[in-house]
Structure 1
């Protein structure tokens, strides 16, 4: 099996053979296994199948249960995109009048790091009967299943952040069982942005520029909807990339248009004149580096915060970079400067004395006056990944040496090294 749309190298595979003899005796044979067999790790469906085989008495003769477990590389796709999770039953099977039973489940970590991981059924299929969990309704399909019931590859569209997790595909056909594991990571974050000077001050062109200056691009309607389903809400009308103006509503809010006739969803003002002034919704895709909190005794003004980050080998983080770092787990209750002159802080763990018990990137001030630049706060810095030039030098050296041996060049030992001064 080959991973589809995945990052990384080849998948790993384990094959296990269980001989079930009369009276319930079970013998285990493993082939190229990397770990001891653990029936509980194989999941409830296989344990149930084994119990049926034993207690219903599959005849007096012994039978073989053939299991294969395959782990695929992580699949990574962006918010509102599409992911293909591979699962193709490849075991050699005997002819069976019954179609295979397919079960897709997802395991997510505990909410806010508390409690136990939760396993959720995504989809089950047997023959022409396919059942889908309501949370995935209209978004999942088995594109190859109609042509072959052994192809259980699943496609998820309109991806949401909370779709991330470890997916298991379990296919049972007679005495043959296969379990594929596919981790999925949905990256990117939608955030509301307003001009540092005031609310509703951005034309369509200004909105595009504002997102770009904050390590992002204008969000699409699909991305705003995906963020809404993840719980995002903002009672501020903002530009999207199709020149429409919209905002997301989760709960009734006084002063927010539509709160009286409340219905959750994304409000749409339609396509607007590009010269009109609104806020904007931006989408930050990926963080190619690190965001870190920096503090000094006495705090920092905006200019000294910028100098501080430069002295640490970085620069003041943008709003988009801070949102991506928050999504990755950055948590701090200390307000700090960002590159646009705003003061914000990321809250990942809910607590009453931090951000009012709310999660997200909290804003202290929109920097509405010029005097605000002299206020004192900490700083959030961004430092990009360092490129490893050493590996390039090693490749150059390894290519140079064989040629130098053939030409008897005396420079072989000095290739790829720098001179010191």
Structure 2
């Protein structure tokens, strides 16, 4: 094998690899010899087929495999010797492939962009400020009030039912004058505006009063689960027994028990912990941005143009869809990247390569348990199809990488946090909110 350098410009590399025909022929013979004991062919006993006949029968296919293995082996040997790591899949083209014939040397051109050398960063010299917010009594009271409203009760009222009220009723549903299975109930409590019944049903009960009999006519949706009712018009004869207005639950021990706490004091402590966990998460995002800004200033190295270009296109595409939310698909004009897109892409690529290198040096790994948890979290977005999602992820390496990447990045960031010089600063919730809003603006 002969390797000749054809390009060395910045991170761009080019090599011409020549594989002698004699080496390929030897590899083909070696493969045929390995297979010969197992080959059966009419007129010959198993394992006794002549090599010349095997080569005539299977040679072309074996030759193709040998060529591919030889090229892959040459590439692996090259990267091992040079220490280069390609930024993307190398472009490998066979020279004069259309005119190549058996017995000729194989000549391929290999071009790629090498990942740059990442300089060392003195992580202990990085100074960061962690914002700390304590849960105020007023915030805890507000959260408890929201819990009480969510756990609302209903008390009987006089007058007509309004949106948000609960009506307790008996009803009988009929299609073509005949009652249908599952269309009747007694003492059914329905909250108007909850959209728990067929579209159009609840609206017709607004204004109803206790003791009133009311007929409601609706049409089942075409995609309704019960095929014999889908698209059919139905009439519901309703007898309104009570009309009740919503009343927020009292903030007491009974409310606490509804939320799984022993008493109000325990529920209050849980609220404090939840609020401060939310504040901590927001503060971490702010400190992470500080860290990335510091790392971005601390290092400078050449970037693979292909990675920057791909990232810039992705940024431009994402921003275009944010500005045109009505366009769901990708049937739109080509989106041009701007200097601003490229500048942001350079930052992301630089930081991505740096964090990857820091993680590798620190031997940061994403565990199987962490991956499983990430897949489970994602699968919850597809209720009823969790199993299919798990199978899809198992068969899709790109999807696994998409789920792994943010976990790995967060673990690297936490690793740097531990080494950096971090001071705490107690601030108000409003100050933290402003800091978070600033992140979104940048």
How high is the TM-score relative to the length of structure 1? Answer: 0.27
Flag the structure with larger Rg.
2
